[in-house]
C-alpha cells in the first residue's frame, strides 16, 4: 500500500511467469511431435485414398460369360480371364490361383485361361514384386451340354417373322452364363406342312436361301425340325448337337 495525501492506495501488479529453459524445450519438443504425427496421419490418409482408387481401377473379368459382371468360373471348359486397369504385363507381375482344382495359363497381355475341376470357391490374385495388389473370389459352377437354338429358343412356338429376324442356329448352354465359342458347321431343316415334309441340308449356321424361302411359306401350325446339327469349337473337333423343333404360331 502507498499513502497519498492521507489516503491509502493499493497498487496492483500483473503476475509475470518465468519459464525455465527445460520447460520451454519440452514444450517445443511436444509441438514438433504433434506436427509430425499430424503429417504422418495426412500421408497415410492420402496413401489409403490413392490405393483405393488404384484398386477400384483393377478388375478380374471372365470374358467367357454373357454377363461379365458375374464372378463365375465354369467347370471343364476354358474360362477366358482378363485383368483390366493394368499396364502391359511385365516380368515383375504374377498371377496366382487357388481352390476348386484350378489351373491358370497366360494367353496374352493380361489375359489368361483358367480351368476348374470342382465346385466351390476359387481366388485369383494379382502380384507385383511378390506383393499382393488385388484379388477376386469366383464361384465355380457346372455347365450344361450345348444345344442349338433359334434366337435362344428351342422346342417352342415362334412366328415366321421372328425366325427370319435371326435365321441361323445359335449354340447356348441352357441355364448358364457361359458364352459358347463353338459354331454350327452344318444342319438339316425339315419343313412340315400338313402331311408334306421337305428336308434341306446346308453348310454353316445360317439358313440357306432355299431354307429361307420354305420358311416364308409356312403357316400357323406348321413346323421346322432341325436335325443332324454338327458343331465344332476352337479345337475343330466335331460334335453332334441334339435335334430340336420350332412350331409356327
Grid cell listed for 201: 441340308
Statement to judge: residues 42 and 103 lie in one domain: no
The Cα 109–Cα 82 span in angstroms is 9
pTM: 0.69
Other Cβ atoms closer than 10 A to 104: 18
In a domain, 9, yes or no: no
Give the pLDDT mean for 113-121. 96
Statement to judge: residues 75 and 162 lie in one domain: no
141, 168, 194: which is the final residue of a domain? Answer: 141
Statement to judge: residues 244 and 155 lie in one domain: yes
pLDDT for 10 beyond 70? no
Q: Range with the lowest mean pLDDT among 13-17, 40-44, 87-91, 128-132?
A: 13-17
Grid cell listed for 74: 465354369
Statement to judge: residues 153 and 244 lie in one domain: yes
Range of the domain at 40: 21-51
CATH of the domain at 211: 2.60.40
In a domain, 79, yes or no: yes
CATH of the domain at 114: 2.60.40.3440
Statement to judge: residues 154 and 244 lie in one domain: yes
Statement to judge: residues 101 and 135 lie in one domain: yes
Which 3 state secondary structure label does DSSP give 244? strand
DSSP string, 102-114: -EEEEEETTEEEE
Statement to judge: residues 159 and 91 lie in one domain: no
In a domain, 241, yes or no: yes
Statement to judge: residues 151 and 102 lie in one domain: no
CB 248 within 8 A of CB 219: yes
Phi then psi for residue 42, to 5 deg, are -65, -40
In a domain, 159, yes or no: yes
pLDDT at 235: 83
In a domain, 135, yes or no: yes
Residue 85 pLDDT level (bands cut at 50, 70, 90): confident
In a domain, 4, yes or no: no
Statement to judge: residues 73 and 25 lie in one domain: no
Grid cell listed for 150: 433359334
Instruction: End-to-end CA distance of the chain: give it in Å, rounded.
Output: 119
Q: What total number of domains does the chain contain? A: 3
Render pLDDT for 50-59 as a digit per residue (tens, 0 to 9): 544 444 588 9
Which 3 state secondary structure label does DSSP give 214? helix
Statement to judge: residues 134 and 189 lie in one domain: no
99, 118, 141: which is the final residue of a domain? Answer: 141
113, 141, 169: which is the final residue of a domain? Answer: 141
In a domain, 16, yes or no: no
Statement to judge: residues 76 and 110 lie in one domain: yes
Statement to judge: residues 31 and 92 lie in one domain: no
Give the pLDDT mean for 183-201. 97
In a domain, 1, yes or no: no
Render pLDDT for 135-150 as a digit per residue (tens, 0 to 9): 999 999 999 999 999 9
Residue 107 pLDDT level (bands cut at 50, 70, 90): very high
Amino acid at each position: 500500500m502507498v499513502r497519498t495525501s492521507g489516503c491509502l492506495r493499493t497498487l496492483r501488479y500483473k503476475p509475470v511467469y518465468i519459464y525455465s529453459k527445460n520447460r520451454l524445450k519440452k514444450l517445443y519438443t511436444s509441438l514438433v511431435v504433434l506436427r509430425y504425427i499430424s503429417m504422418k496421419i495426412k500421408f497415410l490418409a492420402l496413401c489409403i485414398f490413392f490405393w483405393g482408387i488404384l484398386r477400384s481401377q483393377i478388375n478380374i473379368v471372365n470374358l467367357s460369360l454373357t454377363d461379365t459382371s458375374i464372378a463365375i468360373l465354369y467347370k471343364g471348359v476354358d474360362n477366358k480371364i482378363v485383368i483390366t486397369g493394368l499396364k502391359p504385363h511385365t516380368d515383375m507381375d504374377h498371377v496366382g490361383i487357388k481352390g476348386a482344382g484350378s489351373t491358370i495359363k497366360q494367353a496374352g497381355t493380361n489375359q489368361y485361361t483358367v480351368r476348374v475341376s470342382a465346385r466351390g470357391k476359387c481366388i485369383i490374385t494379382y502380384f507385383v514384386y511378390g506383393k499382393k495388389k488385388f484379388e477376386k473370389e469366383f464361384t465355380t459352377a457346372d455347365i450344361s451340354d450345348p444345344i442349338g437354338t433359334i434366337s435362344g429358343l428351342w422346342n417352342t412356338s415362334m412366328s415366321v417373322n421372328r425366325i427370319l429376324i435371326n435365321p441361323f442356329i445359335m449354340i447356348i448352354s441352357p441355364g448358364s452364363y457361359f458364352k459358347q465359342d463353338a459354331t454350327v458347321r452344318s444342319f438339316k431343316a425339315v419343313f412340315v406342312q400338313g402331311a408334306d415334309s421337305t428336308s434341306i441340308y446346308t453348310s454353316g449356321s445360317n439358313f440357306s436361301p432355299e431354307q429361307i424361302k420354305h420358311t416364308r411359306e409356312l403357316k400357323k401350325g406348321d413346323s421346322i425340325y432341325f436335325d443332324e446339327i454338327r458343331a465344332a469349337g476352337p479345337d475343330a473337333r466335331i460334335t453332334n448337337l441334339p435335334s430340336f423343333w420350332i412350331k409356327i404360331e
